[in-house]
Structure 1
Amino acid sequence: MSIALLLIFLVLSALGVPLAIALGLSGVASVFMFTSTPLNLLSESMFSAMNSFLLVAVPLFLLVGQLMERGGVADRIFDFAHAAVGWLPGGMGHVNVTSSVVFGGISGSSVADIASLGAVEINAMTRHGYDKGYAVGMTLTTSTLSSIIPPSILMVIAGSIASQSIGLLLVAGLIPGLFIAAMLMVYNHFYSVRKGVGKPMPFSGGLLLRAGLRAILPMMTPVILMIGILDGFFTPTEAAAIAVVYTLSIAAVIYRRIKWKDIAPMLIDTARTSGNILFIAATAKLAAWVFAYDGLPVQVGNALGSITTNPMLIMLLIFLFLVVVGMFMDAIAAMFILIPVLLPPAVALGIDPIHLLVIVVVTLTLGLVTPPVGVCLFAAAKVADMSVEEVIKGSIGPVSVLILSILAMVLFPVLVIGPLRLFGMY
């Protein structure tokens, strides 16, 4: 059944059928061919996937991204990052990284990062002497930080699928995100020094203070969310609702960049994006039912155990597999399909579930910036008015650093789990 489902799904996807529909049709077809299960039970299974309080956080966080994207936040964040790290050698490249770190802590969306900050970052870097290909490549790569640093939409979905603490997962994504950012800044330092670009500006405490005050309100968003979730004041879903009210107040009342007439189009865009994501969730539930009926998790566990019982080597195999999958499949669809299959056998073989889920999310973000289906890759090409081939060429260096950083987290779980245990959270 599982083989039939995957083959039908691949054929339909290759023919251009939308992922959710291809997944649903392949699930129904495989069940119909191999079992006598009533189809009404399948619809009930799909409905149960949607009937989740945790998944309500997804459209709410998407709406937060919309509000921040259109609410005049990007320029304030960029100015703050410029004042904070623009005085370092390779300054404007560091500003690019820092801007995405801060924006990622607000929006949780890599595409929103490209749409809001992309043009500003690329133009600023080229004005400071950077090659446009490198500027676009760095902007593309740093956009992935928004999918890792809390409040990451992908972490919310992964926790919901795996029935793990979403609050813990959100916090677990913080250190890996900062680690990747640090590695990109190290790479940018050596690149800038070697090329003689990105001359630093003089440090100004006054400028940093003024820029910080201008950006303080949006930057408080992740602080409020994380403190509230970790202290138990509200759930991740309630936190998402609070974030909507808070960001709407900032963008519409304080900054006055959003008018009431702008809200309806944003709600419609959010509904469309959420519908795509949650439709995938519903049809993926059907695929997960097929895999469970077929005993696929047990078979995967036996297959991994026959190769090696070393948790590090198993994680390395999973990482390589996810890199390939992420190149051809949407990250959300891949998580709904693969987490129920990979998590049980991996945990049985001694792998920490939080470590595995973080690696799944972080590795699948590579698919956002790699061909042939990288959403952020095409968005960056459009923003920069460059061909996809030129963007790929310029991003080879930064993306290589991203891959090596993820590989370090695969081989050294302490980078993910260590901070949680250090602060007694896990």
Structure 2
Amino acid sequence: MLTPLLISFAVLLILRIPVAAAMGISGAIALLSSDMNLPVAVVPQRVFVMLDSTSLLAIPFFILAGAIMERGGMARRMIHFAQTMVGHWRGGLAQVDVLASTIFSSLTGSSAASASATGSILIPAMKRAGYPAGYAAALEASSAAIGPIIPPSIIMVIYGSLAGVSVGAMFLAGIIPGLLITLGLFIVNAIMARRHGWGGGDRVPMRARLIAGRDAGAALLAPVIIIGGILGGVFTPTEAGAVAVVYSAAVGVLVYREVRLRELVGVMREAAVTTGIIGLIIASAGIFGWVLALEQVPQAIVAWVQAVTDSPTIAVLLVIGCVLVIGCVVDVTAAVIILVPVFAPLGLSYGFDPVHFGVIICIALVYGNVTPPVGLLLFLTAAIAKCSVNEVMRNQLPFYMVLTAALGITVAFPGLILLLAK
């Protein structure tokens, strides 16, 4: 089955068939062409099994919460608050973009939502201020990539549900790596601003900062409620998603009054479409991954790595290399579904903490969002900036260095990464 699977998948990708459809079709072809005489009914059965997970309920909740926050004025107020805090730094608008993306990522867990909400406002503003379009888009793509790392994280929900790892613990373990990326982006911006002469705005008086903080207070309270509730054991990550929906709707309708009740129907429709797309990816990747499991590909990879080295460090570097390659050609959501059954047992066999190993995989997968040919954030931010993807890529190198450094620290210092998760 493996040969028909890989050949059909490669052909479908070459024909520019969407990755989700390519995985589902190639998986079905492999199953139906095998000598195991499997019935056609096994395909929808595997789809149902893949989606039948309580943990996955967190995904539509956080997607809906993010959509309400974006429509309800929360994103705009957070950007204004970020501007009062760091807008006077060297490269002020670029620094505002990083801080705003970090805050918004802590609300939605979606890199695409973060890029759309903050990028649509800040990329045009950076272009007007003299920043090259490619740099503005590359920065937004890299800062939005924090979304799958800082809790809540959609790919961590998927990883935890498939690997049997606590999603709440993974959320907490993602906080420090996410903040390390934020710090690294601040430093890169400062260096680039000094090199190109990009200045900052006027320092905002403390009174104006307090006013901006009060105006954005309801929005800034959301991550405290979500993360604090999980950390305090008040609710599970899935319940946190439901709380985020109720809270964002209450703030958007009753506090900021920028969303009318009848408009929530349209917001829910948009969120349902996004959820459906992710669900299709999960279902298709489930079929693809099940074929790999039937062919014992995970066991073969584990055996190969164990034959190559006894060192956990070299083993995890090999895993990261495989993840980076797969992330370049497969959507991040699909990649995590395919890779978890392969690499989660490998991490355990080398003595890695399952939460720590899961965070390593998720950070490595983030590269998939900012690398061609399927890097969603590259195409999204290039469209907002009205420039080519090649122009974005020419400005991406220093931001890759930040992601690499954060990944290296995550691998080397498990005690630091797991500090909040204990």
Give, as a single letter, the amino acid of the residue that structure 2 aligns with 1:377.
L
> Displacement of 1:375 after TM fit?
1.3
- Is contact 1:328–1:373 with CA below 8 Å preserved after alignment? yes
Question: Which residue of the partner structure matches residue 213 of structure 2?
Answer: 212
- Is contact 2:133–2:386 with CA below 8 Å preserved after alignment? no
Question: Which residue of the partner structure matches residue 367 of structure 2?
Answer: 366
> Displacement of 1:129 after TM fit?
4.5
- Is contact 1:129–1:198 with CA below 8 Å preserved after alignment? no
> Displacement of 1:170 after TM fit?
0.9
Question: Which residue of the partner structure matches residue 158 of structure 2?
Answer: 157
SS in 1 for 2:262: helix
In structure 1, what is the Cα distance between the partners aligned to 2:284 and 2:373? 23
Question: Which residue of the partner structure matches residue 134 of structure 1?
Answer: 135
> Displacement of 1:3 after TM fit?
4.1
> Displacement of 1:334 after TM fit?
0.7
Question: Which residue of the partner structure matches residue 239 of structure 2?
Answer: 238
Question: Which residue of the partner structure matches residue 121 of structure 2?
Answer: 120
In structure 1, what is the Cα distance between the partners aligned to 2:319 and 2:201? 41
- Is contact 1:114–1:139 with CA below 8 Å preserved after alignment? yes
- Is contact 1:176–1:415 with CA below 8 Å preserved after alignment? no
Give, as a single letter, the amino acid of the residue that structure 1 aligns with 2:350.
L
Question: Which residue of the partner structure matches residue 8 of structure 1?
Answer: 8
Per-residue CA deviation, residues 161-188 of structure 1 (Å, 9 max, x unaligned), is: 2121111111111111000111111111
> Displacement of 1:345 after TM fit?
2.1
* 1:349 lines up with 2:350 in the alignment: yes
Give, as a single letter, the amino acid of the residue that structure 1 aligns with 2:67.
Q
In structure 1, what is the Cα distance between the partners aligned to 2:123 and 2:21? 37
* 1:337 lines up with 2:323 in the alignment: no
Question: Which residue of the partner structure matches residue 53 of structure 1?
Answer: 54
In structure 1, what is the Cα distance between the partners aligned to 2:46 and 2:120? 43
Per-residue CA deviation, residues 304-353 of structure 1 (Å, 9 max, x unaligned), is: 01111211111111112211211111001111111111111221122222
- Is contact 1:125–1:198 with CA below 8 Å preserved after alignment? no
Question: Any residues of structure 2 matched to 1:195-206 within 5 Å, and which?
Answer: 195-199=196-200, 201-202=202-203, 204-206=205-207
Between 1:13-22 and 1:123-132, the stretch displaced more is: 123-132
SS in 2 for 1:146: coil
SS in 2 for 1:232: coil
* 1:289 lines up with 2:260 in the alignment: no
Question: Structure 1's 114 and 203: CA in aligned 2 closer, same or farther, altered over 3 A?
Answer: same
In the alignment of these two chains, the number of paired residues is 421
Aligned sequence identity (%)? 37
Give, as a single letter, the amino acid of the residue that structure 2 aligns with 1:45.
R
* 1:325 lines up with 2:331 in the alignment: no
Question: Which residue of the partner structure matches residue 24 of structure 1?
Answer: 24
> Displacement of 1:128 after TM fit?
4.6
Give, as a single letter, the amino acid of the residue that structure 1 aligns with 2:247.
Y
Question: Which residue of the partner structure matches residue 186 of structure 1?
Answer: 187
Question: Structure 1's 276 and 131: CA in aligned 2 closer, same or farther, altered over 3 A?
Answer: closer
In structure 2, what is the Cα distance between the partners aligned to 1:12 and 1:88? 48
- Is contact 2:138–2:378 with CA below 8 Å preserved after alignment? no
Question: Structure 1's 200 and 259: CA in aligned 2 closer, same or farther, altered over 3 A?
Answer: closer
| Residue segments in structure 1 that go unaligned for 5+ positions in a row | none
Please report the RMSD computed on the Cα atoms of aligned residues, expressed in angstroms.
2.0
In structure 2, what is the Cα distance between the partners aligned to 1:38 and 1:345? 32
Question: Which residue of the partner structure matches residue 102 of structure 2?
Answer: 101
- Is contact 2:360–2:411 with CA below 8 Å preserved after alignment? yes
SS in 1 for 2:131: coil
Question: Which residue of the partner structure matches residue 225 of structure 2?
Answer: 224
Between 1:252-261 and 1:287-296, the stretch displaced more is: 287-296
SS in 1 for 2:203: coil
- Is contact 1:128–1:198 with CA below 8 Å preserved after alignment? no
Question: Structure 1's 41 and 372: CA in aligned 2 closer, same or farther, altered over 3 A?
Answer: closer
In structure 2, what is the Cα distance between the partners aligned to 1:34 and 1:207? 71
> Displacement of 1:363 after TM fit?
1.6
- Is contact 1:128–1:199 with CA below 8 Å preserved after alignment? no
Question: Which residue of the partner structure matches residue 173 of structure 1?
Answer: 174
- Is contact 1:184–1:402 with CA below 8 Å preserved after alignment? no
> Displacement of 1:223 after TM fit?
1.1
- Is contact 1:61–1:108 with CA below 8 Å preserved after alignment? yes
TM-score of the aligned structures, taking structure 2 as reference length: 0.93
Between 1:362-371 and 1:208-217, the stretch displaced more is: 362-371
> Displacement of 1:266 after TM fit?
1.9
Question: Which residue of the partner structure matches residue 411 of structure 2?
Answer: 410
- Is contact 1:297–1:340 with CA below 8 Å preserved after alignment? yes
Give, as a single letter, the amino acid of the residue that structure 2 aligns with 1:91.
G
> Displacement of 1:203 after TM fit?
5.0
- Is contact 2:139–2:399 with CA below 8 Å preserved after alignment? yes
